[in-house]
Amino acid sequence: MKKILLVEDDQFLIEIYSKKLAENEFFVEVVSNGEEVLAKAKEKKPDLIILDIVLPQVDGWEILHQIKQDPELKNTKVIILSNLGQKEEVERGIESGAEKYLIKAHFTPSQVVEEVKKII
């Protein structure tokens, strides 16, 4: 079973995405605080991290940077799932090492799962 680390601070979205991913036979761990992401990623060794950008304490940009700088985590695949949808932000996400940048308003949870399947 593939492991997903879902980094999201909105409880409603956590429930929706966790349920949809679990229905598709993914094991889901959730982190809602930016400070906890690296420790949880090292502990759980996920196949993929779904990363929001707007988070408490540490934002997704800093987390992505830390993941890509860490020898243990740098090869972990990351999908950014955010409401930030400016062209510059999307380009920054891809240039920073994310596999995909999905804008929440443009993708249903089912479509997000399909994107996850394409990557892992």
pTM of structure: 0.96
> Band of the pLDDT at 28, cuts 50, 70, 90?
very high
- Mean per-residue pLDDT, 47-54: 97
What is the DSSP secondary-structure string of 83-107? S---HHHHHHHHHTT-SEEEEGGG-
What is the DSSP secondary-structure string of 1-31? -EEEEEE---HHHHHHHHHHHHHTTEEEEEE
State which H helix or E strand residue 113 sits in.
helix 109-119
> pLDDT tens digit string along 10-25?
999 999 999 999 999 9
> pLDDT tens digit string along 82-115?
999 999 999 999 999 999 999 999 999 999 999 9
Tokens describing residue 61? 């940009």
Tokens describing residue 87? 């062209």
Q: Which domains does the chain have, with CATH numbers?
A: 2-119 (3.40.50.2300)
